[in-house]
Amino acid sequence: MREIKFRAFYEGEMWTVIAAHFHDGDVDLELQREEGGKFLKADPSYQKENLMQYTGLKDKNGVEIYEGDICVSAWVPGKPCEVAYGSFAVDESHHVGFYWKDSEQCPFGGKDADGRDSSEFVTIIGNIHSNPELLEAK
């Protein structure tokens, strides 16, 4: 079973979500991040569009991959892609899960024909909040 966790982009920084309270389509978050050896906390009034879910996968360097990360992959050479969550179609079959947004190579995660995790061929180069210009280079 994969670990369920989130991070959030708040006030120009990436924060770890330590608690989320969902109600009536809104979310209240308790956030934490480390700075200079100290843990800072925030209880923001928050936009859920900046909430990013962990995929349960790590890139080839062992870095956790989250929704909203921008990655390059051997599967989609030379083209940075955003990791997204939602419904997508492959060969006229519909699925729900993590996928490469705006890419013909839709599924993200899973195993290749040799049984290797597809994330072994992925490198995170940024995220949509801190580095949106990386996607403009498409």
Query: What predicted TM-score, i.e. pTM, was given to this entire model?
Result: 0.80
Strand order in the sheet with 69-73: 93-101, 76-90, 69-73, 122-127
Query: Splitting the chain (138 residues) into consecutive groups of 10 residues, what average pLDDT does each group show?
Result: 85 87 80 83 68 88 92 79 81 76 63 65 90 80
Mark 6-43 as b/e (b = at least 16 C-beta within 10 Å): bbbbbeeebbebeebeeeeeebebbbebeeeeeeeeee
Architecture in CATH of 53-136: Roll (2.30)
| pLDDT the model gives residue 118 | 66
Q: Report domain extents, the chain.
A: 6-49, 53-136
Q: So what's the pLDDT on residue 56?
A: 86
DSSP label of 136 = H
